[in-house]
Amino acid sequence: MTSAGHDDPHGHALPPPRTVEVAEGVYGYIQPDGSWWINNTGFVVGDSGVLCIDTCATEARTRAFLAAVDAVAGEGRRTLVNTHHHGDHTNGNWLLPYATVIGHERCRQAVLEMGIMRPDGLFEPVDWGNLAVAAPFVTFERRLNVYVDDLLVELHHFGTAAHTTNDVVAWIPERKVLFTGDLVFNGGTPFVLMGSVAGSLMVLDRLMEFGAEVLVPGHGPPCGPEMIDIVGEYLRFVQDAAAEATAAGISPLEAARQIDLGAYRSLTDPERIVGNLHRACAECVGARPGDPIDVAAAFLDMVTYNGGTPLRCLA
């Protein structure tokens, strides 16, 4: 099942999103090409209603996602889980006005503080549509069980910053399916500027313990647990580069310019190496997971690394 495709502002057609039944009654809504602001969502269908996992960056993309949910499940009660606060996963929350919206306590705080971002100076222009802030209003700290009929969906936060300070995964043990949010990227460069390199590596170890057979990552096609190892390898690569840069006294931007990305060059959004080095270098000199650092400076450095032009965004 597919929805209408999207065109980027420079005339390149993207494949349409796909609704994929990854297990009985469990669906991933996969949005190519998974680059900046183009995320995956998902939903779990029961007789009594639907649990949705995340919304999308723009009004149009979220409406297309909700139409895909309705096409499978029909109308009925909706519950929504946000895996973290970033706008590509929460901007569309307001389009489910009667849903119970669940997230980590720090997710709620971050959505309210951040509001709706339209960062057109940093990214290529996007038609964001009509958006309004709608933060989670049912929150938890470490663990919450949600049921779709009798099917258990476990929501977990692992007590450390990783991709952000408020990452939540949705684990469906009976179906062996794990919705990872942006703790896992498949085909895209992982991004931990607003979280932690060290914390991400710890959380990836915890993800392996679930024994999932299918992962729905925050960006990119559904995959197996081997993708957890691949993300971990990239983050250890970043840690090693940051240690060398810190010892040499050079900046994250200069270090990124000197790095040979090698096998990671083919990942989408390679400029994220700069943001990741900002976080990793801060940790090399004592920053704890999730400690505030200059995120604005890191994004400006990513633009500089990109030749001074806005970052590619096809949302």
Q: Tell me the per-residue pLDDT of 88-116, one tens digit each, with 9 for 90 and over.
A: 999 999 999 999 999 999 999 999 999 99
In tens, the pLDDT along 36-90 reads 999 999 999 999 999 999 999 999 999 999 999 999 999 899 999 999 999 999 9
Whole-angstrom distance, CA of residue 74 vs CA of residue 148: 15
Residue that the structure tokens 């007789």 belong to: 47
Per-residue model confidence as pLDDT tens digits over 182-233: 999 999 999 999 999 999 999 999 999 999 999 999 999 999 999 999 999 9
Residue 297 has pLDDT above 80, yes or no: yes
* pLDDT of 302 strictly over 90: yes
- For residue 206, what pLDDT is reported? 98
Q: How many CB atoms lie within 10 A of CB 201?
A: 17
- The pLDDT value recorded for residue 118 is 87
CB distance 40 to 34 below 8 Å: yes
Predicted pLDDT of residue 2? 38
290-305 mean pLDDT:
98
Nearest to 216 by CA among 100, 97, 35, 54: 54
The predicted pLDDT at position 128 comes to: 97
Task: Average the pLDDT over 291-314 and give the result.
Answer: 98
Which residues, in sequence order, are CB contacts of 153 under 8 Å at separation 6+? 44, 51, 81, 145, 146, 147, 170, 171, 172
Tens-digit pLDDT profile for residues 154-188? 999 999 999 999 999 999 999 999 999 999 999 99
Reply yes or no on whether the pLDDT at 246 is more than 70: yes
The pLDDT value recorded for residue 5 is 55
* pLDDT band, very low/low/confident/very high, at 4 (cuts 50, 70, 90): very low
Contact 13, 23 (CB under 8 A): no
pLDDT band at 12 (very low <50, low <70, confident <90, very high): low
pTM exceeding the 0.85 threshold for the entire prediction: yes
User: What confidence score (pLDDT) does residue 59 get?
Assistant: 98
207 φ, ψ (degrees, to nearest 5): -60, -40
H/E/C letters for each residue in 196-225?
Answer: CHHHHHHHHHHHHHCCCCEEEEEECCCECC
Report the pLDDT averaged over residues 290-299.
98
Mean pLDDT of 259-269: 97
pLDDT > 60? residue 23: yes
CB atoms within 10 A of CB 221: 17
Average pLDDT of 123-137?
97
**Contacts of 265 by beta carbon, 8 Å cutoff, 6+ apart:** none
Using the predicted structure, report yes or no on whether residue 6 has a pLDDT greater than 60: no
Cα(first)–Cα(last) distance of the chain, in Å? Answer: 20
